């Protein structure tokens, strides 16, 4: 059975990858001459896809190793070699970078770095989640999975998706639940092989549904 500790371990590993990527971005940023916004913009457009690909590969590797580890705890499953997922497309990184670079001509050029740091969290989690999705989709044991929030506060959209519980059997059937995530989203895609399992410790779909209903009625 997948445990809360397993989920926290995955989240912690991905957070560390994001932290390292942000450190490299800050070091690069510190070398830029902000009095020349055109040159800074072009430098970031060149640098960001390389940086995100490098650390996205690490996030994907962390995810596939995690999947192998939790799967190995389940007896009697067929042999399976999980696959590495894809990173966020370079085109999406460039588009966000161009938008963020608009702040270079504003009163606070450092807002460019703030936007890119926020996006970095989403990009690293994209690589991790895409790997988990692909691992689940190709697994002959066909595990169920759920979207499990991990933070102190969860938005209404994520709360609604989490309230569905262990109902997903493939990313295709899950629709939005498998691929729609916002910046700083704390949800994890969590597989489960035990058909008797109803709840992950600390994850109560009924509670999330009640929270979602409350949020919807407040609108």
Among 72, 83, 104, 58, smallest CA distance to 6 is for: 72
CA distance 87 to 60: 8
* pLDDT of res. 58: 98
Which of the residue ranges 27-41, 74-88, 138-152, 181-195 would you say has the lowest mean pLDDT? Answer: 181-195
Using CA atoms, how far residue 3 sits from 57, 78, 190, 191, in Å, is 25, 21, 9, 10
Report the candidate in 106, 89, 90, 107 with the shortest Cα–Cα distance to residue 45: 90
Tell me the whole-structure pTM to 2 decimals.
Answer: 0.82
Share of the chain above pLDDT 90, in %: 59
The total number of structural domains in the chain stands at 1
Which pLDDT does position 93 carry in this prediction?
A: 98
Token code pair at residue 72: 């190995």
For residue 73, the 8-state DSSP code is: T
Poorest-pLDDT segment among 34-43, 101-110, 145-154, 203-212: 203-212
Give, as one character, the DSSP assignment of residue 169.
S
- Which range marks the domain in which residue 173 is found? 4-218
| Cα(5)–Cα(3) distance, integer angstroms | 5
Average pLDDT of the residues in 43-66: 98
Q: Is the dihedral of CA 182, 187, 191, 194 positive or negative?
A: negative
Q: What CA–CA distance (Å, rounded) separates 11 from 26? A: 22
| Segment among 68-77, 134-143, 189-198 with least mean pLDDT | 189-198
């Amino acid at each position: 059975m997948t445990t809360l500790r397993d989920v926290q371990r995955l989240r912690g590993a991905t957070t560390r990858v994001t932290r390292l990527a942000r450190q490299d971005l800050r070091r690069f940023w510190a070398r830029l001459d902000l009095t020349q916004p055109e040159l800074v913009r072009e430098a970031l457009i060149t640098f960001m896809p390389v940086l995100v690909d490098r650390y996205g590969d690490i996030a994907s590797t962390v995810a596939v190793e995690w999947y192998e580890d939790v799967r190995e705890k389940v007896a009697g499953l067929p042999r399976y070699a999980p696959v590495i997922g894809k990173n966020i497309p370079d085109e999406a990184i460039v588009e966000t970078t161009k938008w963020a670079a608009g702040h270079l001509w504003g009163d606070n050029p450092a807002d460019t770095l703030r936007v890119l740091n926020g996006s970095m969290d989403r990009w690293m989690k994209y690589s991790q989640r895409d790997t988990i999705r692909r691992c689940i989709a190709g697994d002959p044991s066909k595990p169920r999975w759920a979207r499990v929030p991990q933070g102190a506060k969860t938005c209404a959209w994520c709360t609604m998706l989490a309230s569905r519980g262990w109902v997903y059997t493939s990313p295709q059937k899950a629709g939005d639940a498998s691929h729609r995530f916002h910046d700083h989203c704390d949800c994890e895609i969590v597989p489960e092989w035990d058909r008797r399992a109803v709840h992950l410790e600390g994850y109560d779909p009924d509670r999330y549904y009640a929270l979602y209903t409350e949020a919807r009625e407040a609108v």
